[in-house]
């Protein structure tokens, strides 16, 4: 039951983190590809922790 109640907010937080990091990577002046990797890695880590 706990998993059912936390999955929707968890996906919301993952999407928020990914979107914020992708926007930051796009708005960054030098457009480093490492920033896009963070946008994929951070939500994966958050999903495993939550």
Q: Is the pLDDT of residue 8 over 80?
A: yes
Q: Quick one: pLDDT at residue 20? A: 92
Q: Is the pLDDT of residue 5 over 90?
A: no
Q: Is the pLDDT of residue 19 over 90?
A: yes
**Distance between CA 7 and CA 46 in Å, rounded?**
12
Q: In the predicted model, what is the mean pLDDT of residues 19-44? A: 85
Please give the structure tokens belonging to residue 25: 């990577």
Q: In the predicted model, what is the mean pLDDT of residues 19-41? A: 85
Please give the structure tokens belonging to residue 19: 């979107």
Packing angle of the helix pair 33-49, 2-27 (nearest 10 deg): 170
**Distance between CA 14 and CA 44 in Å, rounded?**
8
E strands in 1-50: none
User: Could you tell me the pTM of the whole model?
Assistant: 0.72
């Amino acid at each position: 039951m706990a998993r059912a109640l936390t999955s929707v907010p968890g996906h919301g937080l993952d999407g928020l983190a990914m979107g914020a990091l992708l926007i930051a990577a796009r708005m960054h002046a030098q457009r480093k590809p490492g920033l896009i990797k963070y946008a994929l890695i951070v939500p994966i880590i958050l999903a495993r922790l939550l």
